[in-house]
A and B are shown apart, each in its own frame.
Chain A
C-alpha cells in the first residue's frame, strides 16, 4: 500500500508570502503528526491530530502557523507571512492510533526555503 505522501517536495517562497503544505497519511491511520526539522536540529514537534481534531497544538511556534485536517485524512499546514527562520524540512507522520505503542510512518518531507 501507499505510504505517507507530502506535497510539494520543495517550496521556495519569498518572505511575507503564505504557503500551504499538504500531507496524505496512510489510509486508515487516525493519528497524524507534523514536525519541523531545521538544519542541524532534531525534529521539532508542531501539532498532532486525532481524527479531525487537534488536541495538542503546543508545538506551533507562532500564530502564523496553523493546520487542519479534513475527513480524518488529508492535512494542510499553513504558514502565513513566512519568515526566513521558517526555512526547514516539514515532516508529516501518521500512525494507526495515538500513543507510543503505535509506530509512526513518516513522509519524505517538504523542504521549504524562504528567501
Chain B
C-alpha cells in the first residue's frame, strides 16, 4: 500500500523559509510525478506545483518566485521549500502522487499545518 508521510516545521515567523518533506513508501517513486497542494484554514485547495519523473518541475505562477520543489530518489523523498513566507502562506500542506498522463492525485499525505505568525 502506498503511503506518504509528511513532516516539517509547523510554526514560522514572517520572512522565514517553509520546508517540508514527504516520504514515499510502498510503491515506486521514480515512476510517478508528485505534487504539493495547500489549503488555508477554512478555505479551498490550491495547487502549488509538481515534479515529474525526470525531475522537471511545474510551479504555480503565483508562487514561482519563492518556490522550490525537489526530490531525493535515493531516499524516496519529496521536498517543498517556500521562501519569504507571510501570514497568507498559513495553510495545511499536502503532498500527493500523480497517477498517469492525466496527473490524477490518487494518494495523499496526511497534511501538515504550517502557521506563519510573528
**A and B held together in a complex:** no
